[in-house]
Amino acid sequence: MICFSLVNFNGSTWPLRTTDSSPVPSPLPPKYLPPKYRTMPSRLFKCIPFLHPKPHPFPLSHLTTMSTKTKTRLRGVVFDMDGTLTVPVIDFSSMYKAVLGETEYRRIRQENPSGIDILHLIESWSPDEQRKANEIILDFERLGRERLQIMPGAAELCGFLDSKKIRRGLITRNVKEAVDLYHQRFEIVFSPALSREFRPYKPDPAPLLHICSTWDVQPNEVMMVGDSLKDDVACGKRAGAFTCLLDEKGRYGSADFTELDLEPDFKNDYASQGVLCHTFQSSPWKSLSDSAAQDKLSLQTDAEFGGLWATRLKISERSSVSSGVFC
């Protein structure tokens, strides 16, 4: 089990959970928390590990040997959208049944208990069959957009990342219209934001590697966050990034998913600040003060968001900060 730590007021740190059997200190009283965190939703409070410490059901693999003084640089976090940044509203089981038919759905579901990859499945169909299947999928996704809701805690987490100058990206197998609606409705911009129009899509590592290349960072300086073991975690692992699995309902504890043989680096009911505080340190971005770098980023945001949200993206020079416990 990895050692958790917090920053004391005098700059020192103390462990909240260690590899030995020493008792875990009580959670910090609210009066010692920054004012903005005292009023955070109770649901977000409950998912911050250092406030409610509990054993991780998944091993933390290569992170288990890290000490509080050896922090890995975290320069970017890439999110899945449906079920991660948004409340799950798409009835995927009904969608699959509508596309495949009840009998075929049951057969494929029995052969693949961990889930059905409908997008890859229909690629082998005839053009006419693909057209009909895509129409059904688009209808379900359109209904999902009508009921689009932000995931509780997502805005607070994005604000936390912004305060640490950590980049935010997005990879989804949903369509671009859903991504644009998220940006417009909640005014939280992710860049790059790759929808399924980008090929190949998850679980292929290509979209995540594309984001790393755009940011000019290494995959091991990035975390992939999502609620799908076979899509999000697989994508992150194949790219060489850190992975965080959101499993609020505990569905990945069943035997159906043992065949995937995938272990996320972190598992939590939401990717709160506490997850990032475990092992990562704040790492400043390279200076974007030169005009060439600024022009490149401006062109990229204009192309992705049609100029609508480019004005909201503030490009500023990142000055270096002293490394320490990232919390």
Kindly state the tokens that stand for 76: 């970017």
Separation CA 320–CA 259 (nearest Å): 44
Residue in the block written with tokens 């009909």: 132
Cβ of 293: how many Cβ atoms within 10 Å?
A: 15
Annotated active-site residue in 80, 180, 227, 232: 80
Say if CB 224 and CB 78 are below 8 A apart. yes
Catalytic status, residue 82 = yes
162 is catalytic: no
Q: Which of 82, 231, 232, 247 is catalytic?
A: 82
Question: Which amino acids are annotated catalytic?
Answer: 80, 82
